[in-house]
Structures are given as structure tokens and as C-alpha cells.
Structure 1
Amino acid sequence: MDSSVLASLDTAITELRGLRSTGAVFGMFNVDDEFFVLVRPVPGGVDLLLSDAAAALDYDIAADVLDLLRTDPPDEEDDEVWPEGNLALLADIGLPEGEMLVIVEEVDLYPDEQLEMIAQRCGFGEQFSGFMERLDQ
């Protein structure tokens, strides 16, 4: 997908809904190497995971995730990192909720490294790494 889908969460969801696949369809978005968002359209809605709820204070797309989750953003004084959303949204393809939480809580990793770990656990690590290498060129 084109990076323009990050213009808004609604655009990303619409683009993902338009993809046709025999398997699971979901988006993995690394936003400014600060946090990531997982978006998975499901019948009747969308499953979301925001790796750092505090990102909603600085990024519209993170605030939009919290809006859809009907969750208030954290206080500006709060400097803790915690996820919001469905930690089990990829459980059916190999990443249980507990393992997702461990990955998200690895705050010493950049979001692309966390996403690579997610891709490896879900069985498409090589494809993800190859895609990331092409982006770096």
C-alpha cells in the first residue's frame, strides 16, 4: 500500500477492506519510528492495536485509534508506555495475546523491529525483511 494511507485511519481501514485475500488481511503501520498501529478489518468493524497510547498526544492517527476504541488519551504528564486495543488480534495466525504484549513492552526496540518480530511469529518474517530492505534502498 502507498504511504498516503497514513493520512488518516479511515483511509487505511478503507484500503485494507478493499484488499482481497484468501487469508487474513491486516495492516502494520510504523509511524515515524515512534510507535506502530495494527489494523485488521473484521466483519462488522475493525480490530486495532496501538503500541503506545501516549502517541495520541502528538499524532492524529494514534488519537483516531483511541477514538475508535472509545478510550481517553493519557494525561500529558504520564510518561509510561502502554498499548491500547486488541492484543489478541493476530492470535489466529500464530501470535497469542501474551506474546504480543511481550513484543509491545520491548520499549528498547524501534517499531520496525517490533513489527519484524510480529511478522516472524506470524510466519512471514522473510517477506517482511525483504520488503524492509527494498524500502531502505
Structure 2
Amino acid sequence: MPVEEPITGFAVAVVREDGRWQCSALDQAALAELDAAITELRKLRSTGAVFGMLAVDDEFFVIVRPTPSGAQLMMSDAAAALDYDIAADVLDLLRAEPPDEDDDTIWPEGDLEVLSDLGMPAPELEVIAGETDLYPDEQLGMIAQRCGFGDEFNKVLDEL
């Protein structure tokens, strides 16, 4: 049986309550299993926005926003589904086909409007996801800055 390498990266929960942003680290299990990420985010009760930002192995990022009927999802690179279970889970939930093994094109998959109500329009999110010379933490940092919680996001990353 092959030994699986542990997944590196981070998972951050973002909550907007009464006009204030709060960020906190999610358990590392959220990087391996989409269900774990969604379950942890659902535990965060808020009248405002609740979503998660996951950076996986310096390869891609996922934004997870629980909804009453499931979750809004956006992944920066659909091809990651060929190598990562969590990315395959995202495509399954989106009912999207994984790319061919030999397709090395990077494209985002999912709901590009996932954060549009928080100041991140779909076209901007698509541009950030397409910045292949940036690491996922840098891309998520740009999103956090644009939405107005960059300082809170950076504090959590500094503690990890």
C-alpha cells in the first residue's frame, strides 16, 4: 500500500458579523476532505457571511461557502482533481467533468460569483485564479485584501 504524503497548506474560516471580519484557522482535515471543511464551516453560526479559503500544497485554492442546500464552491484549477481527493470532491459536488490526464490547461471551476456580494466580482476572481505565477496563499491574500479582511487574514497566516 503506498504511503500518502501529508497535504500541506492552510484552511481559514472567514466570518463577517455586524460589519466586522473575523478569520480563524480550520483543522488540517479540511484540506483533505471537502466534507470536513463544510462541516467545520457549518458549525460557525453567524447572521453574516461564512466561508472557507483553502490553499492546498501550493498548487490550487478552494473557496467553500455553505448554503442551506449544500455549498457554493470555486476552485482555482480543475486539473487538481487528477491529483487531489478534495479537488475531485469539489468537481463531484459541482457535477463537473475532470479534465483529461494530458490536459495541462489551468482553469477555474465552480461559482465565480461566490464572493461577489462581498466585493469580489466574478471577473476579478477569474483573473486572480488565472494568475499562474502566484501561489494560492498569494491569490487568497489578494482576494482577502479586495474584500476588506486582508489584515485579519494575514494575522491568521502568521500564527500558522
TM-score range, shorter chain: over 0.9
Distance across 2 between alignment mates of 1:22 and 1:126: 22
Distance across 1 between alignment mates of 2:115 and 2:33: 22
Task: Please give the TM-score of this superposition, normalised by the length of structure 2.
Answer: 0.82
Q: Which has a greater percent of strand?
A: 2
Q: Which moved more, 1:18-27 or 1:78-87?
A: 18-27
The alignment status of 1:61 with 2:86, answered yes or no, reads yes
1:35-46 aligned within 5 A? 35-46=60-71
The alignment status of 1:27 with 2:52, answered yes or no, reads yes
1:92 aligned to which of 117, 125, 149: 117
Distance across 1 between alignment mates of 2:155 and 2:40: 22
Distance across 2 between alignment mates of 1:6 and 1:84: 17
Distance across 1 between alignment mates of 2:105 and 2:118: 29
Q: Which has a greater percent of helix?
A: 1
Deviation at 1:116, TM superposition (A): 0.2
Query: Aligned pair count?
Result: 135
Amino acid at match of 1:133: D
Distance across 2 between alignment mates of 1:36 and 1:106: 12
Question: Per-residue displacement from partner, 1:78-101 (whole Å, max 9, x unpaired)?
Answer: 011000000010000110101101
Which residue of 2 is the match for residue 108 of structure 1? 133
1:3 aligned to which of 4, 28, 31: 28
Of all paired residues, the percent bearing the same amino acid is: 68
- The CA RMSD measured in Å over matched residues stands at 0.9
Question: Per-residue displacement from partner, 1:26-63 (whole Å, max 9, x unpaired)?
Answer: 00000011000110011212100010000000000000
Amino acid at match of 2:151: E
Deviation at 1:7, TM superposition (A): 3.0
Distance across 1 between alignment mates of 2:29 and 2:70: 22
Distance across 2 between alignment mates of 1:32 and 1:123: 25
Distance across 2 between alignment mates of 1:44 and 1:56: 23
Deviation at 1:14, TM superposition (A): 1.0
The alignment status of 1:73 with 2:98, answered yes or no, reads yes
Query: Unpaired segments of 5 or more residues in structure 2?
Result: 1-25
Task: Please give the TM-score of this superposition, normalised by the length of structure 1.
Answer: 0.95
1:126 aligned to which of 151, 154, 159: 151
